[in-house]
Chains A and B, each alone.
Chain A
Amino acid sequence: MNFKEIPIKIFVNKKTYSLSVRPDELLVDVLRKRLGLTGTKVGCNEGECGVCTVILNDKPILSCMYPAVKANGAEIITIEGLAGEVSSNGGKSQQALHPLQDAFIKTGAVQCGFCIPGQIMTAYSLLKENPSPSEDMIRDNLSETLCRCGSYTAIMRAVKAASENISEGKPIDFPPYQESTGSERFIGKMFIRPDAIEKVTGKAVFTDDLTFPEMLYGKVKRVGIPHGIVKRIDTSRAWGVPGVVAILTKEDIPGDPYHGLIVKDWPVLVGAEERVRYVGDAVAIVAAESEQSAYEAIDLIEVDVEPLPVLDTPQKALSSEAPSLHRGGNLLKHIKVRKGKVEVGFEDADIVLEHVFKTQTTDHLFLEPECSIARMLDDGKMEIYVGSQIPYADRSQIAATLNIQDDKVRVVGQQMGGGFGGKEDIAGQIHAALLAKYTHKPVKILYDRKESLLAHPKRHATEIRVRIGAKKDGRIVAIETELWGDTGAYASLGEKVMTRATTHSSGPYDIPHVKADCFAVYTNNPPAGAFRGFGVTQSAFAIESMIDILAEELGMDSIEIRRKNALRVGSVTCTGQILKESVGLHDCIDAVATELDNIAGGNPFASHKVPDAPHLRRAWGFAVAYKNTGLGGGAPDKATAELEAYPDGQFEVRISSAELGQGLVSVLQLIVAEELQVHPKFVRVWVMDTDLTPDGGPTTASRQTFVSGNAARYAARTMRQMLSSTLAEKFDVHPDRIKYIEGLACIDDMEIEIGKAVQMLIEEGRKPLVRYEYWAPETQPLGSGGDMHFAYSFAAQAAEVEVNTITGEVKVLQIIAANDVGKIINPLGLQVQVEGGIIMGIGNALTENYILENGIPYTDRMARYRIPSIKHTPLIKTITVEHATSEGPYGAKGIGEIVSIPTTPAITNAIYNAVGVRVYSLPVDQELIAKKINKALWNIDN
Chain B
Amino acid sequence: MKKIVDYQLAETLEEALTLLAKSPTVYHVFAGGTDLLLELGAYVSGDVALLDISKIDELKKIDLVQDHLFVGCAATFSEIIRNEAVRRYAPALVDSSSLIGGPQLRMQATIGGNVAHGLPAADGAISLLALGAEVELVSLRGKRRFPLEDFFVDIGQTKLQPDELLYGFYLPVADKDAGSAHVRVSRPQGVAIAILNVAVWLACKDKLITDLRIAIGPAGRMPLRLRRCELKLKNKMIDEVISDDGLSEIIAEETSFRTSKYRASKEYRQFLSSHLLKQAISKAWNRAKGE
Known contacts: A23-B7, A47-B34, A848-B189. The answer to whether A144 contacts B101 by CB under 8 A is yes
Q: Which residues of A contact B101 (CB under 8 A)?
A: 47, 144
* A450 adjacent to chain B (CB < 8 Å): yes
Task: Determine the distance from Cα of A6 to Cα of B105 in the docked complex, in whole angstroms.
Answer: 25
* B155 adjacent to chain A (CB < 8 Å): no
CB nearest neighbor in A for B190:
A864
Q: Which residues of B contact A24 (CB under 8 A)?
A: 2-5, 7
* B264 adjacent to chain A (CB < 8 Å): yes
Within 8 A of B (CB), among A191-250: none
Known contacts: A861-B43, A927-B265. The answer to whether A849 contacts B189 by CB under 8 A is yes
CB nearest neighbor in B for A923:
B189
Task: Determine the distance from Cα of A292 to Cα of B47 in the docked complex, in whole angstroms.
Answer: 13
Task: Determine the distance from Cα of A616 to Cα of B168 in the docked complex, in whole angstroms.
Answer: 40
* B244 adjacent to chain A (CB < 8 Å): no
Q: Which residues of B contact A70 (CB under 8 A)?
A: 9, 52, 54-55
Q: How many residues of A contact B (CB 8 A)?
A: 60
Q: Which residues of A contact B108 (CB under 8 A)?
A: 61-62, 65-66
* A591 adjacent to chain B (CB < 8 Å): no
Q: Mark B97-118, 1 if CB is under 8 A from A, else 0.
A: 0000111110110000000000
Stretch at the interface among A460-468, A697-705, A929-937: A929-937
Known contacts: A927-B265, A930-B268. The answer to whether A6 contacts B7 by CB under 8 A is yes
Chain A's nearest CB lies how many Å from the CB of B286?
13
* A67 adjacent to chain B (CB < 8 Å): yes
Task: Determine the distance from Cα of A505 to Cα of B195 in the docked complex, in whole angstroms.
Answer: 36
* A745 adjacent to chain B (CB < 8 Å): no
Q: Do residues A65 and B275 form an inter-chain contact, with CB atoms below 8 A?
A: no
Q: Which residues of B contact A849 (CB under 8 A)?
A: 189-190
Q: Which residues of A contact B262 (CB under 8 A)?
A: 851, 858
* A914 adjacent to chain B (CB < 8 Å): no
Q: Do residues A59 and B102 form an inter-chain contact, with CB atoms below 8 A?
A: no
Within 8 A of A (CB), among B35-60: 37-38, 41-43, 45, 47, 50, 52, 54-55
Within 8 A of A (CB), among B1-16: 1-7, 9
Q: Which residues of B contact A299 (CB under 8 A)?
A: 1, 45
Within 8 A of B (CB), among A41-74: 45-47, 50, 53, 59-62, 65-67, 69-70, 72
Q: Do residues A67 and B189 form an inter-chain contact, with CB atoms below 8 A?
A: no
Q: Do residues A863 and B5 form an inter-chain contact, with CB atoms below 8 A?
A: no
* A1 adjacent to chain B (CB < 8 Å): yes
* A75 adjacent to chain B (CB < 8 Å): no
Known contacts: A65-B33, A72-B9, A851-B262. The answer to whether A45 contacts B42 by CB under 8 A is yes
B3, B7, B9, B50 — which one has the most chain A CB atoms within 10 A of its CB? B7
Q: Do residues B267 and A866 form an inter-chain contact, with CB atoms below 8 A?
A: no
* B188 adjacent to chain A (CB < 8 Å): yes
CB nearest neighbor in A for B278:
A806
CB nearest neighbor in A for B187:
A926
Chain B's nearest CB lies how many Å from the CB of A78?
14
Chain A's nearest CB lies how many Å from the CB of B137?
24
Q: Which residues of B contact A50 (CB under 8 A)?
A: 102, 104
Number of chain B interface residues as a range: 35 or more
Task: Determine the distance from Cα of A59 to Cα of B104 in the docked complex, in whole angstroms.
Answer: 8
Task: Determine the distance from Cα of A53 to Cα of B55 in the docked complex, in whole angstroms.
Answer: 21
Chain A's nearest CB lies how many Å from the CB of B97?
13
* B146 adjacent to chain A (CB < 8 Å): no
Q: Which residues of A contact B275 (CB under 8 A)?
A: 806-807
Task: Determine the distance from Cα of A241 to Cα of B56 in the docked complex, in whole angstroms.
Answer: 38
CB nearest neighbor in A for B30:
A67
* A731 adjacent to chain B (CB < 8 Å): no
Chain B's nearest CB lies how many Å from the CB of A933?
11
> Which of A144, A296, A847, A872 has a CB less than 8 Å from the CB of B105?
A144
Q: Do residues B190 and A53 form an inter-chain contact, with CB atoms below 8 A?
A: no
Chain B's nearest CB lies how many Å from the CB of A840?
14
Chain B's nearest CB lies how many Å from the CB of A11?
17
Within 8 A of A (CB), among B235-280: 262, 264-265, 267-268, 271-272, 275
Q: Which residues of A contact B45 (CB under 8 A)?
A: 299
Q: Which residues of B contact A937 (CB under 8 A)?
A: 271
Q: Which residues of B contact A864 (CB under 8 A)?
A: 190-191
Within 8 A of B (CB), among A904-942: 923, 926-927, 930-931, 934, 937-938
Q: Which residues of B contact A863 (CB under 8 A)?
A: 38, 191-192
* B185 adjacent to chain A (CB < 8 Å): yes
Query: Tally of A-B residue pairs with Cβ under 8 A?
Result: 135
Q: Which residues of B contact A926 (CB under 8 A)?
A: 187-188
Task: Determine the distance from Cα of A306 to Cα of B101 in the docked complex, in whole angstroms.
Answer: 42
CB nearest neighbor in B for A934:
B271
* A295 adjacent to chain B (CB < 8 Å): yes
Q: Which residues of A contact B103 (CB under 8 A)?
A: 60, 122, 140-141, 143-144
CB nearest neighbor in A for B262:
A851
Chain B's nearest CB lies how many Å from the CB of A455?
14
Task: Determine the distance from Cα of A918 to Cα of B238 in the docked complex, in whole angstroms.
Answer: 37
Task: Determine the distance from Cα of A809 to Cα of B185 in the docked complex, in whole angstroms.
Answer: 9
Q: Which residues of B contact A62 (CB under 8 A)?
A: 34, 104-105, 108
Q: Which residues of B contact A72 (CB under 8 A)?
A: 9
Task: Determine the distance from Cα of A933 to Cα of B23 in the docked complex, in whole angstroms.
Answer: 59
> Which of B4, B41, B189 has a CB less than 8 Å from the CB of A23?
B4
B54, B78, B188, B268 — which one has the most chain A CB atoms within 10 A of its CB? B188
Task: Determine the distance from Cα of A69 to Cα of B271 in the docked complex, in whole angstroms.
Answer: 47
CB nearest neighbor in A for B263:
A927
Task: Determine the distance from Cα of A450 to Cα of B43 in the docked complex, in whole angstroms.
Answer: 9
* A4 adjacent to chain B (CB < 8 Å): yes
Task: Determine the distance from Cα of A130 to Cα of B264 in the docked complex, in whole angstroms.
Answer: 39
Q: Do residues A23 and B42 form an inter-chain contact, with CB atoms below 8 A?
A: no
Q: Which residues of A contact B52 (CB under 8 A)?
A: 67, 69-70
Q: Do residues B104 and A61 form an inter-chain contact, with CB atoms below 8 A?
A: yes
Q: Do residues A47 and B7 form an inter-chain contact, with CB atoms below 8 A?
A: no
Chain B's nearest CB lies how many Å from the CB of A668?
37
Task: Determine the distance from Cα of A448 to Cα of B192 in the docked complex, in whole angstroms.
Answer: 21
Q: Do residues B7 and A846 form an inter-chain contact, with CB atoms below 8 A?
A: no
Q: Do residues A927 and B104 form an inter-chain contact, with CB atoms below 8 A?
A: no
* A88 adjacent to chain B (CB < 8 Å): no
Q: Do residues A807 and B5 form an inter-chain contact, with CB atoms below 8 A?
A: no
Within 8 A of B (CB), among A846-890: 846-849, 851, 858, 861, 863-866, 872
CB nearest neighbor in B for A298:
B1
A53, A70, A296 — which one has the most chain B CB atoms within 10 A of its CB? A70
Task: Determine the distance from Cα of A140 to Cα of B105 in the docked complex, in whole angstroms.
Answer: 13
Chain A's nearest CB lies how many Å from the CB of B95?
14
CB nearest neighbor in B for A64:
B37
Q: Which residues of A contact B78 (CB under 8 A)?
A: 59
> Which of B41, B104, B190 has a CB less than 8 Å from the CB of A866?
B190
Q: Do residues B1 and A292 form an inter-chain contact, with CB atoms below 8 A?
A: yes
Chain B's nearest CB lies how many Å from the CB of A919?
14
Q: Do residues A847 and B189 form an inter-chain contact, with CB atoms below 8 A?
A: yes
Q: Which residues of A contact B189 (CB under 8 A)?
A: 846-849, 866, 923
CB nearest neighbor in A for B78:
A59
Chain A's nearest CB lies how many Å from the CB of B243?
13
Q: Do residues B42 and A450 form an inter-chain contact, with CB atoms below 8 A?
A: yes
Chain A's nearest CB lies how many Å from the CB of B52?
6
CB nearest neighbor in A for B279:
A806
Task: Determine the distance from Cα of A88 to Cα of B5 in the docked complex, in whole angstroms.
Answer: 50
Q: Which residues of B contact A927 (CB under 8 A)?
A: 264-265, 268
Q: Mark A793-810, 1 if CB is under 8 A from B, else 0.
A: 000000000000011011
Task: Determine the distance from Cα of A303 to Cα of B218 in the docked complex, in whole angstroms.
Answer: 40
Q: Which residues of A contact B105 (CB under 8 A)?
A: 47, 62, 65, 144
4 closest A-B pairs by CB: A144-B102, A23-B7, A24-B4, A295-B1
Question: Can you list 18 A-B contacts (CB < 8 A)?
Answer: A1-B6, A22-B4, A23-B50, A24-B2, A24-B3, A47-B38, A47-B104, A50-B102, A67-B7, A144-B102, A144-B103, A145-B102, A450-B43, A847-B189, A863-B38, A866-B189, A930-B272, A938-B271
Known contacts A6-B9, A67-B50, A926-B187; 10 further A-B pairs (Cβ under 8 A) = A2-B5, A24-B4, A50-B104, A61-B107, A66-B108, A144-B102, A846-B188, A930-B272, A934-B271, A938-B271
